[in-house]
């Protein structure tokens, strides 16, 4: 697999893919630990990781937090249909959704709905307040259908490579 970056192509090899898998599983691994696992010295591993970051294969490093411990244990998926479908209305909706902290993911989807939101709140009362005061105040929402998560079976941030 290759990618053009500033007129120079990079090609990923098996070591690059191993590094990506390891960093996906644990981004806290040091360059020294990564190097030991791929049987290279630290300098080439450091350079490979920097190359992967610069080329955009690695977008960011984050800490994954426990929503329940932070009192945001109710997860809701909300399907949104817009009343009208113009560029201005769609752009305004996206701008409004991005500003809502409770919305942790938003996808523009095809099918019966226009958007799928993943929302984290403390409980049903907080979700009701969110719907009435935040989501309900957004213009051009035609309908919203909520699905409440009863239990999380699998949650992976890993891209299958």
At the top level of CATH, which class does the domain 74-148 belong to?
alpha beta
Domain regions of the chain by residue span: 2-54, 74-148
Q: What is the pTM of this model?
A: 0.85
Rg (CA), the chain: 21
Pairwise CA distance, residues 48 & 119, whole Å: 36
Question: Is a pLDDT exceeding 80 seen at residue 1?
Answer: no
Name the pLDDT band for 3 (thresholds 50, 70, 90).
very low
Q: What is the CATH number of domain 2-54?
A: 1.10.10.10
In CATH terms, are 2-54 and 74-148 the same topology?
no
Over the stretch 5-53, which tens digit does the pLDDT of each residue have?
443 468 999 999 999 999 999 999 999 999 999 999 999 999 999 999 9
- Position 139 scores a pLDDT of 87
- Position 10 scores a pLDDT of 81
- Across all residues in the chain, what is the average pLDDT? 93
């Amino acid at each position: 697999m290759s990618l053009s970056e500033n007129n120079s192509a990079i090609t990923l090899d098996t070591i690059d893919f191993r590094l990506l898998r390891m960093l996906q599983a644990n981004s806290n691994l040091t360059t020294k630990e990564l190097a030991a696992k791929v049987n290279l010295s630290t300098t080439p591993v450091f350079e490979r990781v920097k190359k992967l970051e610069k080329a955009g294969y690695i977008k960011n490093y984050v800490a994954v937090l426990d929503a329940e411990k932070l009192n945001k244990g109710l997860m809701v998926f909300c399907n949104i249909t817009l009343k009208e479908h113009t560029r201005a209305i769609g752009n305004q909706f996206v701008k409004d959704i991005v500003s809502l902290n409770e919305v942790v993911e938003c996808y523009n989807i095809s099918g019966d709905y226009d958007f799928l939101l993943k929302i984290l709140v403390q409980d049903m009362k907080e979700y009701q307040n969110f719907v009435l005061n935040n989501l309900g105040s957004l213009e051009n929402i035609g309908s919203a259908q909520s699905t409440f998560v009863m239990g999380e079976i699998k949650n992976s941030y890993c891209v299958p490579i």
